[in-house]
């Protein structure tokens, strides 16, 4: 089974637009027999990813990562009326899709994108960070690796869904297939062309897959200006969620309120006078006092 894609033209560049979606020339038909590139453009990765929503038995909340501020696409609307995502992309989809539009060289070398691929070829993953993915080496320390990881999880790593169906947490973008002549796995966020063969730096973010080992997951977070995902920086930390702020405020009120109550109580009670003699204690009852039990004996 081949994974979905819209019209492919090997001679055309990748289309970065959301044409066919609710924000740009909306259309219910992603294909046109007369002018196949007309509805969503040629080589449109985002429109290809949208085909999963149109043809699959899934809802748009599947495309929202809980670690982002994205919301469900087309809430209260019929997703079949459109052929691409709403704009900006990252506000409605937290994930990047493996670009299904290879270069001519990749096609001639046997490139394919289907369910027969093994567990090292990614299908989709947390959002591509953009240019940061070109500046990291395969053996960079964790802190230096952060700019190459997805902003979804504050650059700590990314969930990667592979073509065999399994999902794996990766702390490096070098999470694809092992390169046959290089000491590293494929960087899933950049095209291999222009990569330094010794350390893995370089490559092109919006490049086409160049060989059978090359995966390029698109779009990037930088393609969605105005979203909170773009404002995240490597080395930063997630802000407190609303529920955490509420808990913090309630805790603060308890502490402050408790201290205030103690102070108020001390001010209201009369100052202690001279010691008073203790009253005589009553004689202890011959039998111990019986206290109520819950539940009563024999019940429950």
The pLDDT assigned to 103 comes to: 97
From residue 85, how far is each of 1, 15, 231 by CA, in Å?
Answer: 24, 14, 21
The pLDDT assigned to 239 comes to: 61
Question: Is 255 within a domain?
Answer: no
Quick one: CA torsion of 247, 251, 253, 254, rounded to 10 degrees? 140
Query: What contacts 258, CB < 8 A, 6 or more positions away?
Result: none
Question: Is 227 within a domain?
Answer: yes
Question: Is 51 within a domain?
Answer: no
Q: Which helix (H) or strand (E) holds 95?
A: strand 95-98
- Per the structure, the count of domains in the chain is 1
Query: Is 224 in a helix, a strand, or coil?
Result: coil
Question: Is 183 within a domain?
Answer: yes
Question: Is 222 within a domain?
Answer: yes
pLDDT tens digits along 177-233: 999 999 999 999 999 999 999 999 999 999 999 999 999 999 999 999 999 999 999
Per-residue exposure over 80-109, b if at least 16 CB sit within 10 Å of its own CB, e if not: eebbbbbbbbbbbbbbbbbbbbbbeebeee
Question: Which range marks the domain in which residue 109 is found?
Answer: 94-231
Residue (of 219, 230, 228, 222) closest to 47 by Cα position: 219
Query: What is the dihedral sign for C-alpha 82, 84, 87, 90?
Result: positive
- Pairing label, strands 167-170, 174-178: unpaired
Rounded to an integer, what is the distance from CA 284 to the centroid of its chain? Answer: 70
The pLDDT assigned to 290 comes to: 36
The pLDDT assigned to 252 comes to: 32
The pLDDT assigned to 278 comes to: 41
Question: Is 279 within a domain?
Answer: no
Query: What is the dihedral sign for C-alpha 171, 172, 173, 177?
Result: negative
CA–CA dist 71, 88 (Å, integer): 11
Per-residue exposure over 232-260, b if at least 16 CB sit within 10 Å of its own CB, e if not: bebeeeeeeeeeeeeeeeeeeeeeeeeee
Q: How many residues are recorded in the chain?
A: 300
Which residue ranges in the chain fall short of pLDDT 50?
A: 241-300
Query: Is 177 in a helix, a strand, or coil?
Result: strand
CA–CA dist 261, 209 (Å, integer): 67
Instruction: Quote the tokens at residue 212.
Output: 């059978």
CA–CA dist 82, 24 (Å, integer): 10
Question: Is 81 within a domain?
Answer: no
Question: 182: phi > 0 → left, psi -120 to 50 → alpha, else beta; which?
Answer: beta
Instruction: Quote the tokens at residue 17.
Output: 């637009």
Question: Is 171 within a domain?
Answer: yes
The pLDDT assigned to 262 comes to: 32
The pTM of this model reads 0.79
Instruction: Indicate the DSSP class of residue 151.
Output: G
């Amino acid at each position: 089974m081949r994974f979905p894609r819209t019209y492919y033209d090997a001679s055309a560049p990748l289309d970065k637009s959301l044409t066919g979606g609710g924000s740009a020339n909306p259309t219910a038909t992603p294909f046109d027999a007369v002018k196949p590139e007309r509805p969503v453009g040629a080589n449109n990765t985002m429109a290809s990813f949208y085909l999963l929503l149109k043809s699959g038995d899934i809802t748009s909340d599947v495309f929202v990562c809980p670690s982002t501020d994205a919301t469900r696409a087309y809430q209260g609307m019929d997703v079949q009326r459109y052929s691409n995502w709403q704009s900006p992309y990252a506000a409605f989809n937290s994930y990047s899709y493996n670009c299904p539009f290879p270069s001519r060289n990749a096609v001639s070398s046997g490139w394919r994108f289907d369910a027969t691929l093994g567990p090292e070829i990614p299908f989709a993953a947390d959002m591509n960070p953009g240019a940061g993915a070109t500046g990291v080496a395969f053996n960079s320390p964790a802190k230096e690796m952060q700019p190459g990881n997805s902003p979804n999880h504050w650059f700590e790593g990314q969930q990667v869904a592979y073509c065999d169906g399994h999902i794996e947490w990766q702390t490096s973008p070098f999470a694809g297939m092992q390169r046959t002549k290089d000491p590293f796995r494929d960087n899933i966020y950049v095209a291999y062309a222009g990569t330094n063969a010794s350390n893995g730096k370089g490559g092109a973010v919006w490049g086409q897959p160049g060989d059978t080992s090359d995966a390029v997951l698109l779009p990037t977070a930088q393609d969605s200006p105005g979203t909170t995902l773009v404002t995240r920086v490597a080395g930063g930390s997630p802000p407190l969620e609303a529920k955490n702020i509420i808990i913090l405020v309630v805790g603060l009120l308890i502490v402050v309120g408790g201290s205030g109550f103690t102070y108020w109580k001390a001010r209201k009670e009369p100052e202690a006078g001279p010691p008073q003699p203790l009253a005589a204690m009553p004689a202890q009852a011959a039998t111990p006092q019986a206290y109520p039990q819950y539940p009563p004996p024999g019940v429950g």
